[in-house]
A and B are shown apart, each in its own frame.
Chain A
C-alpha cells in the first residue's frame, strides 16, 4: 500500500507539531485581522494571537459552534474577499438557515490533497475507476471525492446518488474498482444487485470509501461480505473542509487525521476542558491551512477519542476512533441530518401546543426507516375517521417537506411514549449505528 504524501503523512511527531504550531499562528493572525467575529470573541476572552505560545495554549482560544455559523450567515466568517472565493458549499440547517462555507483556489487544492491521501489509503490509484455515488451539489460529498480522485489520476464516474439499478449497471459495465457512497447505500446496492441476479463479489470492485453517516463494525463485515470489498471509513464535515478530514488505512483500526491541515482535540462536552489522548469526548477541530473559511476550535458534537501512536501502515498522523455517538440528539437517516426539534416545530405549527412524539429509526432491508409516533391530543382528535386520517397525512407531508426524506406517521394514544422524569424520550434508534 502506498502513501500519497509520505513527507507529511509519515513525518515525525516533533516536526509535525512544529509545523502545526507555525500554521496555527498564521491562521490566528489571519482570522484576527480579517474576521471581526473571531477578533471580537478573542478580545472578549482576553486573548491575542501573540498570547498563543505553544500548541497546548490552544485551550485559551474560544470555541466555534454551528450556531455561530448560522448567526454569521451567509459569508460573515469568510477571511478573504469574495473575489478570491471560487466555490461555495452548504449544509441544510435545523431551523431553516443553512451553514455556508467557502473555498479559495488553494483551499480546493488542499481538499484535493487530503482526498487524494484518503483514496490512496483505501488502496486507490491512477489505474482505478471510481464510482462517486455521493450526492453532487451543495453537499460536499460528491465534489470532494471527485476532485481528490482526479488529482490521484483515477478514472472518475460522477454518477451522484440515486437510480440504484443504473448504479449497478455502471459498476458492472464500466469495470468499477472503487465505490464512494454512504455505508447504508452500499448495502442497498448489494441488495438491489442480488434482486437483479448480479453478484457484486464477482465484479472487479475492490474497495469502498464510505462515510457521511455513522456505522458499526458489524455493518462493515456485512458490506465487505456482500460486496466482496474492503470497506474504509472516511470522516469529514463541511465546516472543516468536507470528506477527507480523516480516513482509515489498511489496518482498519482508527482513522488517520490529516493533522498537518486539521488540528484535532477531544474535549469534555460539559466543561469544555481538553481531554488527554485515549479519553472519549467531543471532537474539536481547528483548521491550519484554510484560507476562505478558517475555523477555530469547531465543536463537531461527534464523540470519539484520539490515539497518536504510530501505525503499522507507516503513517504517523494520529488516529481517531470511528464515531461513537453524538453530544446532541442529531440523527443521520439515509445520509440526511435529522433533529427531533424539526419534527416538533411541524407539530407546533399544526396547532398542537405540547406535542408528544417519538422518532423510531430502524434499518429495514438495509435502508433507514423513520416512523414518527404522534400522541393524539384532544386538540388534534376528532370523532370522524376522515379527519383523523387526513391529519396523519398532513403531518406526514409537512415533515417530509421539512426533512427531505420519506417518513411514516403513526397516531398513538396519549402516554404511549414513555416519559422519564416528565421528559419524553424523543428518539428510539434500533440501528445500533454506534456499536462495535
Chain B
C-alpha cells in the first residue's frame, strides 16, 4: 500500500521549479500531485508522478538531489468534514503525520490526500483495520 513520492531539493532561485517540471515533461512523465515546502533559503519539491522510477533516473541525470520517499495515499469522501474524519481516525490510531498534501484529480467520487507518516509499515497495518481507505500504487500513478 506504499506509494513512491519523488522529493527534490531546490534552492530558492528563479526558474528552478520550471526547470524540474520541464525535464519531467520532456520525458513524458506526468505529475499527479505536488507540494512545495520552503524555507528562506531552500525548498523541497514533493511529487507523485506517473512513473517514479523514470522520474528519479532523469532528475538524477540532470544533477539534481533527488530521493524516493514512501508515503501513503488515502481516499477521502469528497464532502464537508471528509478530511476531518480521516484525520480523527489517524489520531486515534496514533499515526504521526510529517506532512500531507492533496491530489488535484479524484479517484471515482473521492478526493485523494498524500500523507507522509512516521513508521509507515505500522501505520499501514493500523489503518487497514480502520475506516480509512488506502489507495494502491498502481491506482495512484494513474489518477
The stretch among A43-51, A75-83, A410-418, A425-433 that forms the contact with chain B is A410-418
Contact check, B11 vs A381: say whether CB atoms are below 8 A apart: no
Give every chain B residue within 8 A of A411 (Cβ-Cβ): 9, 11, 41-42
Which residue on chain A has the smallest CB distance to residue B63?
A415
Give every chain A residue within 8 A of B98 (Cβ-Cβ): 384
Chain B contact residues (Cβ within 8 angstroms of A): what range?
A: 20 to 34
Which residue on chain A has the smallest CB distance to residue B11?
A413
Min CB–CB distance A411 → chain B (angstroms): 5
Which residue on chain A has the smallest CB distance to residue B38?
A385
Question: How far apart are the CA atoms of A383 and B66 in the complex, in Å?
Answer: 9
Give every chain B residue within 8 A of A385 (Cβ-Cβ): 37-39, 44
Contact check, A383 vs B69: say whether CB atoms are below 8 A apart: yes
Contact check, A384 vs B99: say whether CB atoms are below 8 A apart: yes
Q: Does B128 have its Cβ within 8 Å of any Cβ on chain A?
A: no
Contact check, B41 vs A410: say whether CB atoms are below 8 A apart: yes
Chain A contact residues (Cβ within 8 angstroms of B): what range?
A: 10 to 19
Which residue on chain A has the smallest CB distance to residue B98?
A384
Question: How far apart are the CA atoms of A222 and B46 in the complex, in Å?
Answer: 50
Q: Contacts A383-B46, A411-B42, A413-B11: A376 and B116 contacting too (C-beta < 8 A)?
A: no
Contact check, B44 vs A413: say whether CB atoms are below 8 A apart: no
Min CB–CB distance B40 → chain A (angstroms): 10
Give every chain A residue within 8 A of B69 (Cβ-Cβ): 383
Q: Does A389 have its Cβ within 8 Å of any Cβ on chain B?
A: yes
Contact check, A381 vs B41: say whether CB atoms are below 8 A apart: no
Q: Contacts A378-B67, A384-B99: A413 and B9 contacting too (C-beta < 8 A)?
A: yes
Give every chain B residue within 8 A of A375 (Cβ-Cβ): 65
Give every chain A residue within 8 A of B42 (Cβ-Cβ): 376, 388, 411-412
CB interface residues, A 363-391, toward B, < 8 Å: 375-378, 381-385, 388-389
Contact check, A414 vs B37: say whether CB atoms are below 8 A apart: no
Q: Contacts A383-B44, A384-B98, A384-B116: A413 and B67 contacting too (C-beta < 8 A)?
A: no
Contact check, A383 vs B65: say whether CB atoms are below 8 A apart: no
Q: Contacts A383-B7, A385-B39, A388-B42: A413 and B64 contacting too (C-beta < 8 A)?
A: yes
CB interface residues, B 39-54, toward A, < 8 Å: 39, 41-42, 44, 46
Q: Which of A384, A392, A410, A413 contacts B65 (CB 8 A)?
A: A413
Q: Does B55 have its Cβ within 8 Å of any Cβ on chain A?
A: no
Contacts A384-B116, A385-B44, A416-B11 supplied; 16 other A-B pairs, CB < 8 Å:
A375-B65, A378-B66, A378-B67, A381-B66, A382-B67, A383-B5, A383-B7, A383-B46, A383-B69, A383-B99, A384-B37, A410-B41, A411-B41, A413-B65, A414-B63, A414-B64
Provide a sorted-by-A list of 5 A–B residue pairs whose CB atoms are within 8 angstroms.
A378-B67, A382-B67, A383-B7, A384-B99, A413-B10
Name the 5 nearest CB pairs between A and B, nearest first.
A383-B7, A383-B69, A385-B37, A415-B63, A376-B9
